[in-house]
């Protein structure tokens, strides 16, 4: 149950960070690292996929790991795309970016690859 709570809280954090008004972001000091926003996107969705994997590994699930990874990946990428559309059409002074979706998907894929090659277990992260 606790992993579900972490997952839901992280999804809310992603939503809040994605929906912050561009006017508010203008007041935040800029970090002068090229493509820093892509690093943030990559990290947010890596963490989301990692939390999904923690839930799977710590709980008894009735579906296979491959099906679980497919379902969670589709959910995460769909959520990412939805937020980019919302940034374009709903949120104030924000704009969606297909490269943000690519960064998000890359974060998801990296965690899946780490899981498949047992890197997360070797690092004792799962």
The domain spans of the chain are 2-15+33-122
What's the whole-number mean pLDDT along residues 11-36? 80
pLDDT of residue 124: 76
Report residue 89 as tokens.
């059409």
Q: CA-to-CA distance for 57 and 65, rounded, in angstroms?
A: 9
Query: Rounded to an integer, what distance in angstroms lies between the CA atom of residue 14 and that of residue 33?
Result: 21
Residues 80 and 104: beta-carbon distance below 8 Å: yes
Q: Alpha-carbon distance 88 to 15, whole Å?
A: 14
pLDDT > 90 fraction of the chain, expressed in percent and rounded = 59
Q: What is the pLDDT of residue 57?
A: 82
Tokens of 71: 């379902």
pLDDT in tens, 24-65: 655 667 778 888 889 999 999 999 999 999 988 877 778 888
């Amino acid at each position: 149950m606790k992993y579900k709570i972490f997952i839901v809280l992280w999804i809310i954090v992603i939503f809040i960070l994605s929906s912050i008004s561009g006017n508010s972001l203008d007041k935040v000091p800029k970090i002068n690292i090229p493509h820093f926003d892509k690093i943030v996107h990559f990290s947010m969705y890596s963490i989301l996929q990692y939390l999904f994997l923690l839930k799977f590994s710590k709980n008894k699930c009735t579906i296979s790991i491959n099906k679980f990874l497919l379902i969670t990946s589709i959910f995460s990428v769909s959520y990412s795309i939805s937020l980019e559309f919302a940034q374009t059409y709903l949120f104030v002074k924000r704009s969606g970016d297909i490269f943000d979706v690519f960064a998000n998907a890359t974060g998801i894929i990296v965690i899946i690859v780490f899981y498949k090659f047992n890197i997360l277990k070797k690092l004792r992260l799962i």
